Amino acid sequence: MENNRKIYTLSDLGKSLRSVIERAYSSTYWIKAEIAKLNYYPRSGHCYPELVEKTGNLVQAQMRATIWAADFSRLNRQFLDVTGDKLKEGMSILFRASVDYHPVYGLALHIHEIEPAFTLGEMALEKTATITRLKKEGIFQKNKELVLPILPKRVAVISVETSKGYHDFLNIISSKTEQYHIWHYLFPSVLQGDKAVEGIISQLRIIKKLMSRFDVVVLIRGGGGDIGLSCYDDYKLAREVAVFPLPVITGIGHSTNETVTEMVSWINKITPTDVAYFLLEKFIDFEKRIDNCARALKSDGTAFVNTEQKKLGFLSADLVQSTNQLLNLHNVFINNAAGLLVQGTKNLQATGREKVNNLSMQVLATPKQILFKERCDMDNRIFSLKAAVKTKQANESNRIGVLENKTRLLDPENVLKRGYSVTRFNDKVIRNASELKNGDIIKTKVYIGEITSEVKK
């Protein structure tokens, strides 16, 4: 070990570094960076942001910062007054800071001032980029292209149950519920701040699974002015609303600086009250249309009845006149027909008497002729029948003789005489040897006697 080398303590090195940094970085500097983590401690009021610089997703630099309680309260209030939002993670900020080094806590930036206008510009750029991206993807107008039902009776509401805006909405809708039968269901979600995007998207996806039960989605927020509205410029939330399969109506309570989510929704109404009245107007307009149709129908119906009554009066008069003319014409026709019928009947009677007399003479002469002819025919038929019977008897006698000879030849006894035999098993004639098996007892009939055998093979 060398005895002449100089050894420093860690605190010596820390003090040296601190001295060098204080001399080299004696001023304050304007720096832009993104807040990766805010690290705010409400009990002490101090804030220890973690700052980063990124190119895409690649971190180029990372450094810790400090904002003491008094400064943080002042800076956060100023930032909120200008941007409408509090300092939060993911924001790009322009700040004035001094460079500090502490032997225990290391290098840190001590933030003295934050320029809200810079962040406001960055938020505007982000909003513009979101709009451009949605238009490039061709979905910016997609939700607006949906058709709102004539009567949006089933409403999915995304809001906070305790918010005044939600209760204002309910009071207006409920006042007409019995008349118009509007049904609504609340899907609660945080509506401002860091967790609003995730909460609203989550509820939208639940509604999408149940979309057959709803006609429209209402996103409403009561009070708060423009504070915390930057979340509605978020690309993910705006895209979810733009491509949602049901019309989305927004009413998040401000009249200026329309957010991207409001731009892509089916329609944007300033307040929850406006949304409620918009829905009711659909029913009121439809009711007016029905009333107008009823009045028009009544008026047109009355005019139609009057016109048809006039037509009916004219037709009645024409019908009476035409009927009288037709009756007169038919009376003349009937009288003429009656005269013709009487004359025709007389002529027919005279012709009928003449025919009856002729038929009477024919009836008296015809039976004798018919009887003589029938007797001759009968004698001929009897002679022919006797001859046919004799011939038939001779033919049948010959046929019976031939059959008797065949029968005698086929008699079983004559067959057995010629040396044939009949074998039976259980009184059943055996025609095939496969019907028997070894040990079966069979009987064989010959011309004289019967033989009993046992099958061996």
Q: What is the model's pTM?
A: 0.52
- Give the residue from 91, 106, 128 where a domain finishes: 128
Domain that holds residue 74: 10-128
CATH label of the domain that carries residue 30 = 2.40.50.140
Instruction: Check whether 444 has a pLDDT greater than 60.
Output: yes
Q: Residue 49, Cβ neighbours under 10 Å: how many?
A: 27
- Give the residue from 259, 285, 311 where a domain finishes: 285
Q: Provide the token pair at 318.
A: 């024409």
Burial of 15 (0-12, 13-18, 19+ CB in 10 A): middle
Say if residue 169 is in the same domain as residue 38: no
- Closest C-alpha to 152, from 49, 246, 42: 246
Say if residue 272 is in the same domain as residue 184: yes
CB 243 within 8 A of CB 142: yes
Residue by residue, DSSP assigns 50-106 as EEEEEETTEEEEEEEEEB-HHHHHHHHHHHHHHHSS---TT-EEEEEEEEEEETTTE
Q: Residue 131, Cβ neighbours under 10 Å: how many?
A: 17
- Give the residue from 82, 108, 128 where a domain finishes: 128
How many domains does the structure of the chain reveal? 3
CATH label of the domain that carries residue 279 = 3.40.50.2300
**Angle at CA of residue 24, ends 20 and 28, nearest 5°:** 125
Binned at pLDDT 50, 70 and 90, residue 1 comes out as low
Say if residue 137 is in the same domain as residue 117: no
Say if residue 193 is in the same domain as residue 246: yes
Instruction: Check whether 124 has a pLDDT greater than 80.
Output: no
Q: How much is the average pLDDT of 89-102?
A: 86
pLDDT of residue 137: 93
Distance of alpha carbon 208 from alpha carbon 282, whole angstroms: 23
Say if residue 43 is in the same domain as residue 178: no
Q: Residue 187, Cβ neighbours under 10 Å: how many?
A: 19
User: Is 358 among the domain residues?
Assistant: no
pLDDT of residue 418: 74
User: Is 61 among the domain residues?
Assistant: yes
Q: Provide the token pair at 9.
A: 């303590």
Q: Provide the token pair at 24.
A: 């080299």
Pairwise pLDDT comparison (277 vs 228), residue with the higher score: 277
Say if residue 161 is in the same domain as residue 281: yes
Distance of alpha carbon 331 from alpha carbon 317, whole angstroms: 21
Say if residue 261 is in the same domain as residue 169: yes
pLDDT of residue 299: 77
User: Is 446 among the domain residues?
Assistant: yes
Binned at pLDDT 50, 70 and 90, residue 146 comes out as very high
User: Is 360 among the domain residues?
Assistant: no
**Mean pLDDT, rounded, of the chain:** 85
Say if residue 122 is in the same domain as residue 139: no
User: Is 47 among the domain residues?
Assistant: yes
CB 50 within 8 A of CB 64: yes
Say if residue 154 is in the same domain as residue 203: yes
User: Is 348 among the domain residues?
Assistant: no
For the stretch 396-436, pLDDT in tens is 888 888 887 777 777 777 777 777 888 888 888 888 888 88
User: Is 263 among the domain residues?
Assistant: yes
Binned at pLDDT 50, 70 and 90, residue 225 comes out as very low
Instruction: Check whether 240 has a pLDDT greater than 60.
Output: yes
For the stretch 58-77, pLDDT in tens is 888 899 999 999 999 999 89
Pairwise pLDDT comparison (2 vs 163), residue with the higher score: 163
Distance of alpha carbon 198 from alpha carbon 232, whole angstroms: 11
Say if residue 110 is in the same domain as residue 152: no
pLDDT of residue 2: 59
User: Is 97 among the domain residues?
Assistant: yes
Burial of 45 (0-12, 13-18, 19+ CB in 10 A): middle
Q: How much is the average pLDDT of 266-284?
A: 91
Say if residue 69 is in the same domain as residue 209: no
Pairwise pLDDT comparison (28 vs 178), residue with the higher score: 28
Say if residue 110 is in the same domain as residue 48: yes
Q: What share of the chain is helix, strand, coil (3-state, %, to 5)?
A: 55, 20, 25
Q: Which residue has the tokens 């019976």?
A: 400
Question: Which residues contact residue 67 at a Cβ distance below 8 angstroms, ignoring those fewer than 6 apart?
Answer: 46, 47, 48, 49, 75, 111
For the stretch 334-359, pLDDT in tens is 888 878 887 888 888 878 777 877 77
Binned at pLDDT 50, 70 and 90, residue 254 comes out as low
For the stretch 13-45, pLDDT in tens is 888 888 888 888 888 899 888 888 889 999 999
CB 33 within 8 A of CB 93: yes
For the stretch 291-347, pLDDT in tens is 888 888 877 777 788 888 888 878 888 888 888 888 888 888 888 887 888 788 888
Q: How far is CA 263 from CA 152, 243, 257, 422, in A?
A: 21, 13, 10, 112
Q: How much is the average pLDDT of 136-165?
A: 92
Instruction: Check whether 10 has a pLDDT greater than 60.
Output: yes
